[in-house]
Amino acid sequence: MSLDPKKLVDAIKMFQKKIEKQGRVTNARDEEHLERLKKLYKDMGGKKKFESVNEEKNNSENLNIEFGKVVQDFYNKANQIADKINKLKGDKTDGKIVMKNVKKQVTPLIKLMHSWNKGQQKNPNLTTERTFVGQRKTGDNYKGGYSDNRGNRTELYQAKNGTFYIWVKSGGAEGYMDLPKNIKDRGKADDIHLDLQDNFRKKKPIKLKGKTLKPESVNERMDKRQAGETLKQLGGNRFIMMTGAKNFGVGPKGMGFKIGRNSKKINYIRIDLDRGKDLYNMEFIRMARKKGELSPTMKVVKKIKGVYADQLRDLFTKYTGMYTSL
């Protein structure tokens, strides 16, 4: 069984951090194990150099000192040149202008180096390698996204090297789709992104690096927020007062609730979103419990598809005989 060099590198870094947390008094076994891991990595042909945390801190401090000496030498040289300018001109004005601009340019560099060294002392394992923040890599540019009412989402990003990738969230899973490296034209990347969005709308599976995401979200059913919006469309508290609506719930088939007695003998309403069209589906149900049965039987008296929000009240009144407002 061959060892994975990458896993070995991770193990070495893990032990380095563990030893660093131990402070001045370290565990001898951990130190020995770390050295064995380093030797094994080297024997496998690994070229990465591993420095202890203290070595990294010392190296960053030495670099900071070296940079300070270079800046000081530059400043001294500039000062000598400014003196020569003053002697040449017989006036100190030009020399002062030169030194003023030298300080103006050099001071930010000194602060930058001090800031870098300070960060290395606090966290010497910081790397300039790109890392993910949320669904994108730091420094990459967001180029547009798409989301549907099932909770699926795609976002297009352009990396620093000009290549594109798409972040996809679907069915409670998420992942990245790297576009071919030769695609560096925004138009072509947008075309691929639009095709991907079309798959979402058509509920077609999306393949991402060995795994398939199905555009069936955790929000495939109507969620509580959407149910609240639907109730507002019906009339909110006034609707509840006029119809005696109660026992509201959100299930796999949408939002459902009981209503009071009416001439049509409808006592249960079910409303769901027609996803992709932003329309509603309505079901008018008659529930009845027969003697000896624990659960009631449900008969769908009327089912209507493709209902607009402003039609909900009128259709409710039409098929229940109940008014939703005075």
Q: Return the higher-pLDDT residue of 319 and 147.
A: 319
Q: What is the pLDDT of residues 272-285, one digit of tens each?
A: 877 667 788 999 99
Q: How far is CA 290 from the centre of its chain?
A: 52
Sign of CA dihedral 10, 13, 15, 17: negative
Structure tokens, 7? 């896993």
- List pLDDT tens digits, range 12-68: 777 777 766 665 556 667 777 777 777 777 777 776 655 555 556 666 777 777 877
pTM above 0.75, yes or no: no
Q: Which residue has the tokens 């006029």?
A: 242
Helices then strands, each counted (H, E), the chain: 8, 13
- Write the CB contacts of 248 (distance below 8 Å, at least 6 apart in sequence): 227, 231, 255, 256, 257
Instruction: Determine the Cα–Cα distance for residues 203 and 299; give it in Å rounded to an integer.
Output: 30
Q: Confidence band (pLDDT; 50, 70, 90) for 202?
A: low
Residue 215 near residue 206, CB atoms below 8 Å: yes
- Rounded CA gap, 72 and 106, in Å? 10
Lookup result for tokens 């309403």: 269
pLDDT value of residue 58: 64
